[in-house]
A and B are shown apart, each in its own frame.
Chain A
């Protein structure tokens, strides 16, 4: 069922990452290497503190490795400056968070439009894209609703629309069903599956949910910063 074409979209090479709490160094990832082919749907599993989210953050370019390389689409994002990295993220990565992270003062339409505000698209072009993204996630009728007027599943679908509206090459999802009931979680996983199959999006998803992981092509387990 895999749709990947075998070419590596993401390469994590010998990455080490530690965090510092006061003077204590806490190692999170230890000399980790993985490859994710283009079009792959990868699930990262493991106990809390195993380094899943840290690895996801490194792939998404919102954190940097202490050692090693992270290449996405052939670009070494570890060497990019902060401003270039922000620009790179805006066009190459779509983010889906556990708690949706929609801006409560913006409507569904405005939330989805957010990433497009950083592009040179005209207002009309932006509207067309937002309409399409919301239609894709089945919320075209709810575009003028505020997050508090939506259910958890609907909020997550708006978040997915926001993640895909710039047509990024990679989607990263951090426990996208972690805050949802079974039915909503199922709908979200179907949506991600569809984005992977129909639109060829490479997806890296962190999850604790075996049902969600079962939708992925491949599952990697991490423990104490290493693949097991």
Chain B
């Protein structure tokens, strides 16, 4: 109890220094948590991937399309339970230079797509209304909130990959089954896209961006992938079939250098936390060497001295870490608000909290090691001579 009391009193001895150290740790922990949150937000699609879904795309690149005629052939492969398809539409909504106006627009098969993505929950009446109307669309709840979209609204899009002026009527708003589901997308009829492209750019019709396969047995995926790709090995449009997770991972990999840099920055921050705290604790311990010598003279043991130095270090680290963690949440919220569709899923993951807490605690321990060791090894006679 005495050690705890003295730790508290010692920590408040140089209030400004302690406060600045706590702030330094808090900012560093918040930065660490924020960067980790960005990295996890970047990989959110990978984490949200279903275990029983596969994607078939063009073997060369995602930007090349596949013939619509593949659909029935793929559906016929043993182990494939259901097939759907989609096209990346692109286009611009309002001012394209504003990030807030970016959101994924995807042309899908209205009859099968939502069956393959049960994590997107659409009210039955809205799904029926969507299926009935060829130029209708379904938007995610988060996107609807961000852009103020309501049922019946018309969303005008200026096409780029598929030129022309496009208008889609909102007939449904889907909710995510859980927080990992992306609620920032807009889905509309592939048939509507196909028909208009046939008129506007004859020859581009009948093309699919990617097929989505639901397989009956997740352990069968390697065989299914080989079977699908084997079918088109000698065709003009060869395919690459992979799990949805691998497919999503390939997008993340495109940004691997950014993610690596972010991770490196987070490790650098760990070093900064340690230096900030170690500097304070070393200074504090050096100033108090004579006091430690007095305590040892009176009969206090090494464990008491370690408790005093380690306790102060841990206390500062814990308070700084807790404030830093608390700051991580509004920082992540600000990120989500600033880039709602670029980072559709921003959550401070439990592992981020665990890591950030562990780093703060570890910094508390490591920062105390050297001064505690010095104080414990110090001869009392030398300590009494030292200037306090």
Contact = CB atoms under 8 A, between A and B. Distances in A.
Contacts of A86: 296, 299-301
Nearest to B380: A62
- Where chain B touches its partner, the secondary structure class is helix
Nearest to B290: A101
B262 interface: no
A59 B162 CA distance: 96
B132 interface: no
Contacts of B301: 83, 86
Contacts of A91: 299
Given A63-B379, A63-B380, A63-B381, A101 B296 contact: no
B6 interface: yes
Interface in B301-329: 301
A101 B384 contact: yes
Contacts of B379: 63
- Where chain A touches its partner, the secondary structure class is helix
Interface residues of A, number: 24
Contacts of A114: 2, 295, 298
A207 to B, nearest CB: 17
Interface string B1-30: 010001001101100000000000000000
Contacts of B10: 105
B298 A89 contact: yes
A103 B298 contact: no
A103 B294 contact: yes
Given A63-B381, A101-B290, A89 B297 contact: yes
Contacts of B119: none
B166 to A, nearest CB: 72
Contact of B2 (A89, A105, A117, A162): A117
24 contacts: A54-B381, A62-B380, A62-B381, A62-B384, A63-B379, A63-B380, A63-B381, A86-B296, A86-B299, A89-B298, A89-B299, A91-B299, A95-B298, A97-B294, A101-B294, A103-B291, A104-B13, A105-B9, A105-B12, A114-B295, A114-B298, A115-B299, A118-B298, A118-B300
Interface of A: 53-54, 57, 60, 62-63, 83, 86-87, 89-91, 95, 97, 101, 103-106, 114-115, 117-118, 162
Given A83-B301, A118-B299, 19 more contacts: A57-B380, A62-B296, A62-B380, A62-B381, A63-B381, A86-B299, A89-B298, A89-B299, A90-B299, A95-B298, A97-B294, A101-B294, A103-B6, A103-B294, A105-B6, A105-B10, A114-B298, A117-B2, A118-B300
